[in-house]
Amino acid sequence: MSTTPEFTAAVEMHHAMSTTMGTDHPLTQRALTLVMELAPDELKTLMADKAREMGLIPEAHGYLDDGTPCYRLEAIAEKLGLTEAEAQASVQAFMADRMAMGLDTMPIDPALIHIRQ
């Protein structure tokens, strides 16, 4: 798996912030968002597979044409022990952070999701 210098720098920054400010600090969480944005696709796939194996994420509700899994907000909220309103607020905050960082925030058109049968 090949990585970029930007990815390596983002990982080092996240580690430093996690150590000094803690993993729950908003800036540390933003740093993790950048790490994930810059991560090689192979690493993203490995991490998603491990999260599914550990039962941390629900089954995908459907998939996009490229195989990207899509999840129902209700299923995520249930898996995390949140209300739907709390999960929605979390998603909105996450998207606002991505926008502030200049990262993609394009919502998925529900018409493009192929529902699991």
Same domain, 88 and 115: yes
- Would you say 64 and 108 are in contact if contact means Cβ atoms under 8 Å apart? yes
| Interatomic CA distance for residues 96 and 68, integer angstroms | 22
Same structural domain, 61 and 117: yes
Which phi and psi (to 5°) does residue 69 adopt? -75, 150
Render pLDDT for 40-92 as a digit per residue (tens, 0 to 9).
999 999 999 999 999 999 999 999 999 889 999 999 999 999 999 999 999 99
What predicted TM-score, i.e. pTM, was given to this entire model?
0.79
Tell me which of 10, 25, 55 is where a domain ends: 55
Beta bridge mates, 70: 62
Query: 75 and 113 in one domain?
Result: yes
Q: Which domain holds residue 102?
A: 57-117
Can you tell me the distance from the alpha carbon of 117 to that of 115, in angstroms, rounded to the nearest whole number? 6
CA dist 61 and 40 (Å) reads: 24
**83-107 per-position pLDDT tens digit:** 999 999 999 998 999 999 999 887 8
* For residue 116, pLDDT beyond 90: no
Q: Are residues 83 and 62 in the same domain?
A: yes
Total domains present in the chain:
2
